[in-house]
Structure 1
Amino acid sequence: MHRRKLLQWGLGAFGAGLLPLAAARADDNDIIGAILQGKQSAAPSVPQPVLRPTPVEAPAVKPVDLKWVHLHNVHTGEKLEAVYWEDGEYVPDAVQALNKVLRDYRNDQVHPMDPGLYDILGQIQSRTGSRQPFQVISGYRSPATNRMLSDRSGEVAKHSLHMEGKAMDIYLEDVALEHVRAAALDLGRGGVGYYPQSRFVHVDVGRVRQWKGA
């Protein structure tokens, strides 16, 4: 091959080999220029992780255990609706107030009532669905009052549990008397006396028993 042609071919081939490199450098210059001018980002954006706060669990709220009783003393007209039990124990102020409402109205003598009576009333109210207060005919009876009633009527026990604050004579205005009696008997707690003519049910915290009076 002629030397000149060889050189020309070699230059041509070498030049042709440089073209891609030159073009690549031109492209790089264009990209760098665009970056400097703010036309193109320097690097592809990488999604940033979303940081969420760690949920903090609220402290568990202990449910409050409440027991209510609603009474109306038919002799004095006094009414009392009270929470007598809260968080596993009887509420002293409520118990004292209930003692006063259930006192012997004939001589105003106050005696501690057995709080178990209120549990019985609450269960009777729950079973009957009553929304009315318990009408109380008799709560505590002093020995003098009980003796007087026993002498007057053979249906009053000489050693009545009323004298110990362990009995009540009650009825509900929105529940038939026989249904009150049935609910009390279903509980299987203490004594239940049924007095349909006198219109009351006797409940107490003594031994389990039942009877019917006038």
Structure 2
Amino acid sequence: MSDSASCVSRRTILRAFAATMVAAAPTYSKAAGFLRGGGDIRKLQMYSGRTGERIDVIYWIDGKYIKESLKEINVFMRDWRQNKAIAMDTRTLDIMSASHNLMGTSEPYLMLSGYRSPQTNAYLRSRSSGVARNSLHMKGQAADLRLKSRSVGQMSQAAASFQAGGVGSYYGSNFVHMDCGTVRSWRG
């Protein structure tokens, strides 16, 4: 099968998104359009190869974030090297959740990186030129994710279709970076 045949086309993504569309009110000012398609429930399913932890949590119901669920997500997405957690930006969680829904998979994300302390970011920068000095990971606004059942191209297209943040496609390392920063895309 060719790479183009294995990737989900933008038209297919939009069709799938339209089929699942539920009119839910945006939950913050300047809300991106993808939130209106988020449905009445938003959830995240992830596991960490580093810690062995798993999470399967509903964090938003009928227009309201669930504080206890967000705390659980924050702990899961912590910097495991420093054992430090901060409040993850819900905009990034929403991008992750909406992208997962759009791809139509029940497989949980493998989370490679969520929050990074400045110490961890500096350490990773010393080992790789692909780590940004002012990474949004340090603000709790980014995640690096992988799915076995979806290609980097499919994951990138799903996340980019919302035009709600940054999407980095790391084909060589087989992961996608999703963040709630300015809308942009790149290959790493």
**TM-score w.r.t. structure 2 length?**
0.77
Match of 2:173 among 184, 195, 198: 198
Residue 101 (structure 1) shift: 0.5
Structure 2, gaps ≥5 residues long? 1-38
Residue 173 (structure 1) shift: 1.8
Structure of larger gyration radius: 1
Match of 1:73 in 2: 48
Runs of 4+ in 1 over 3 A off after TM superposition: none
Match of 1:188 in 2: 163
Residue 179 (structure 1) shift: 0.6
Q: Is 1:165 the equivalent of 2:104? A: no
Residue aligned with 1:180, SS: helix
Q: Is 1:90 the equivalent of 2:65? A: yes
Identity %, equivalent residues = 38
Name the amino acid aligned to 1:194.
Answer: S
Structure 1, gaps ≥5 residues long? 1-63
Match of 1:211 in 2: 186
* 8 Å Cα contact 1:74-1:135 kept in structure 2: yes
Separation in structure 1 between the aligned mates of residue 131 and residue 93 of structure 2, nearest angstrom: 22
Q: CA RMSD in A?
A: 1.2
Higher relative contact order (CA 8 A, sep 6+): 2
How does 1:1-214 map onto structure 2 within 5 Å?
65-213=40-188
Residue aligned with 2:161, SS: helix
Name the amino acid aligned to 1:138.
Answer: S
**TM-score w.r.t. structure 1 length?**
0.68
Residue aligned with 2:153, SS: helix
Q: Deviations over 1:124-148 (max 9, x none)?
A: 1222111111110000000000011
* 8 Å Cα contact 1:69-1:82 kept in structure 2: yes
Residue aligned with 1:156, SS: coil
Larger mean CA deviation between 79-88 and 140-149 belongs to: 79-88
